[in-house]
Amino acid sequence: MALRAGVAGGVLSTLAVAGAAGTANAAEPVTETIELPTLTADLSAQIAQSADATAQTADSYEARAQQDAAAVKAAKQAAQDQAEAKKKAEAKKKAEAEAKRKAAQERAARDSERTRLSTASAPSTGGGSSSGSSSEASTPSAPASGSVATVISFLKAQLGDAYVMGASGPNAWDCSSLVQAAFKQAGVDLPRVSQSQSTVGTEVGTSNLQVGDILYWGGKGSAYHVGVYIGGGQYLDAANPSKGVVIQDLSGYPASGAVRVL
């Protein structure tokens, strides 16, 4: 029994010591050392390259986005421009069609006026004797009242006709052929060219003009252009190829002289 008691006491003492040691070991903190990688020059270069690559990628995405936005904007602008061009083309087409229609109407009106004037003047020219006709050819006569209005009416009916050197109607004239044709409506036969037309009738000053006076530019007998005074400081003439038959202001192109045959 004493032996057992001694053994038991020894065992218990051993357990107590071990327990105390275990408690002490448990209370001591456990530490672990982690070794960090060393930052070398190669690793720094790799990190820098990676950062540059990331920045370049971001820049590329931004540039692509800007290009896409610009492409969308350009497409919208192109669509707008195309629609505007189409609208302008349609408007131009309509305007041209309207201009052609008006030109056709004006042409028809002028043709009708020419026919009326020719019919109206036929009795006065056809009813005269052969000797009267010969006299008219040599010296312009003084027609009946209203003949100036006939001349002006004929001239205005030709407005818009073309100017062609040497032409004598019905839709193209030069300056002297138009004057000759107009006065023929009133029974007055004038020479064909402007030089000769500047010498007929009675010379009048340009400050004493009357409607129906023949204006000339250049010297008397050597005039290079003629027209007819229609009043209000204006004259009507077959001006040139770019203008055709028009009404113009004397202030812009003063005449050298004038003759009166009516």
Give domain limits for the chain.
83-120, 150-260
Please give the mean pLDDT across all residues of the chain.
Answer: 78
Pairing of strands 162-163, 172-173: parallel
Give first-to-last CA distance, the chain, whole Å.
180
Q: For residue 16, how far is the Cα from the chain centroid?
A: 115
- SS3 category, 21: helix
**217 φ, ψ (degrees, to nearest 5):** -120, 130
CA angle 224, 227, 229 (to 5 degrees): 140
Give residue 248's identity as a one-letter amino acid code: Q
Q: What are the pLDDT digits (tens) for 43-77?
A: 777 777 777 888 888 888 888 888 888 889 988 89
- SS3 category, 15: helix
Q: Does residue 191 contact residue 179 with C-beta atoms inside 8 Å?
A: no
Is the pLDDT at 247 greater than 90, yes or no?
yes
Query: Which of 203, 154, 143 lies closest to 178, judged by CA?
Result: 154
pLDDT of residue 6: 56
Position with higher pLDDT, 101 vs 27: 101
Per the listing, tokens 């190829």 go with: 241
pLDDT of residue 159: 97
**205 φ, ψ (degrees, to nearest 5):** -75, 150
pLDDT of residue 129: 32
At 181, the pLDDT band (50, 70, 90 cuts) reads very high
Q: Please give the share of the chain, as a percent, with pLDDT higher than 70.
A: 68
DSSP for residue 36: P
The CATH label, of 1.20.1260.10, 2.60.40.60, 3.90.1720.10, 3.30.420.40, for the domain at 150-260 is 3.90.1720.10
pTM: 0.50
At 96, the pLDDT band (50, 70, 90 cuts) reads confident
pLDDT of residue 91: 86
pLDDT of residue 84: 87
Q: What are the pLDDT digits (tens) for 134-179?
A: 333 333 433 334 699 999 999 999 999 999 999 999 999 999 999 9
Query: Which of 186, 164, 159 lies closest to 177, judged by CA?
Result: 164
pLDDT of residue 140: 41
- How many CA atoms are closer than 13 Å to the CA of 73, on its beta-carbon side? 6
At 9, the pLDDT band (50, 70, 90 cuts) reads low
Is the pLDDT at 24 greater than 50, yes or no?
no
> Distance between CA atoms of 221 and 136, rounded to whole angstroms?
20
Highest averaged pLDDT of the listed ranges 78-82, 105-109, 148-152:
148-152
